[in-house]
Amino acid sequence: MAPGIGGFGGLFPLGDSYLVAGTDGVGTRLKLAFETGIHETIGIDLVAMSVNDIVTSGAKPLFFLDYFATSRLDVVLAEKAWPWYLVIKGIVDGYQQSDYALLGGEVYLINVCFIPTLVFVFVCTRAILSRVFERSGLSLKRNLPGSSIALGEALMAPTVIYVKQVLGIIGKGGVKGIAHITGGRFTDKLPRMFPKGLRALIYKDSWVVPPVFKWIQEAGKIEDVEMMRTFNLGIGMVLVVKEEAALRILGDYHDTNSVYRIGEVISSDGVSCR
């Protein structure tokens, strides 16, 4: 259905409008959750991955269904003690941030700890992080250098849900395109907004990169190009807007340190940095 393969959500015609549907998982975060013991943010991440994709079409999330697969489920231990409870609690937190209905879902008991299809999303980012840990010798429980936060906590910080902010910005006009920056990061996600012949030119050092990404780059000796290809570097949502809209948005959020002008649209194709 419209707009075809490559969008952030699937669009289904409904009268003069469209229903937008999306589904996603938490990728490498699931592996990190088990290694760090931090499961509280996984549910929020799951919601964020889905609703942030949907809002790129200008759609308001309506409802959510979750699917939880596990090798065991102890109802007595589940309440406030087992990952299942913490994940579901995160999903509830996520839907409260997004203002949609949580209709229900499925809890499925299987004989393995991970759904097989999840294995493939671990490969690229997980391999890089493993190499960084080996070189640095830093444990996930040790504080991030120059910070009072443990590395594991920094890596498991909840994903930002952008629904209300983005819908508010769209309502004021001037938005030409939106990209949710997750897997594939800048190099793959940004071109999906543009027709052939347009390129995203990213201004280097135009936003504050969170400390955890700086540590990953320094400890792993990773080049800038690879960092942008693998990580979002703290930019979760990119909006292409008219000049006057950009000035208005920057003014509305000037005291929040959460919005940056990070580039411009130029002729050619793909993504480049300056």
Average pLDDT of the residues in 43-70: 89
Instruction: Read off the pLDDT band of 191 (50, 70, 90).
Output: confident
Name the packing angle between helices 123-136 and 28-36 (round to 10°): 40
CATH class of 10-126: alpha beta
Residues of the chain with CATH 3.30.1330.10: 10-126
Residue 112: its pLDDT value, please? 47
**Which residues does residue 270 pair with via DSSP β-bridges, in sequence order?**
199
The architecture (CATH level 2) of 172-273 comes to Alpha-Beta Complex (3.90)
φ/ψ region of 146 (left if φ > 0, alpha if ψ in -120 to 50, else beta) reads left
| pLDDT value, residue 118 | 32
Distance CA 43, CA 65 (A): 12
10-27 average pLDDT score: 88
Q: Where does the pLDDT of residue 89 fall: very low under 50, low under 70, confident under 90, or very high at 90 and above?
A: confident
Cα separation, 120 vs 160, in Å, equals 24
Average pLDDT on 45-51 reads: 91
CA dist 126 and 124 (Å) reads: 6
Convert the pLDDT of each residue in 245-257 to its tens digit. 999 999 999 888 8
**C-beta of residue 106 within 8 angstroms of C-beta of residue 67:** yes
Beta carbons within 8 Å of 253's beta carbon, 6+ residues apart: 259
- Note the pLDDT tens digit of each residue in 138-153: 788 888 887 888 988 9
Determine contact, residues 178/192, Cβ cutoff 8 Å.
Answer: no
Read off the pTM.
Answer: 0.82
Sequence ranges of the chain with CATH classification 3.90.650.10: 172-273
Q: What is the mean pLDDT of residues 87-99?
A: 87
Mean pLDDT of 168-193: 87
Task: Please report, in angstroms and rounded to a whole number, the separation of the first and last CA atoms in the chain.
Answer: 37
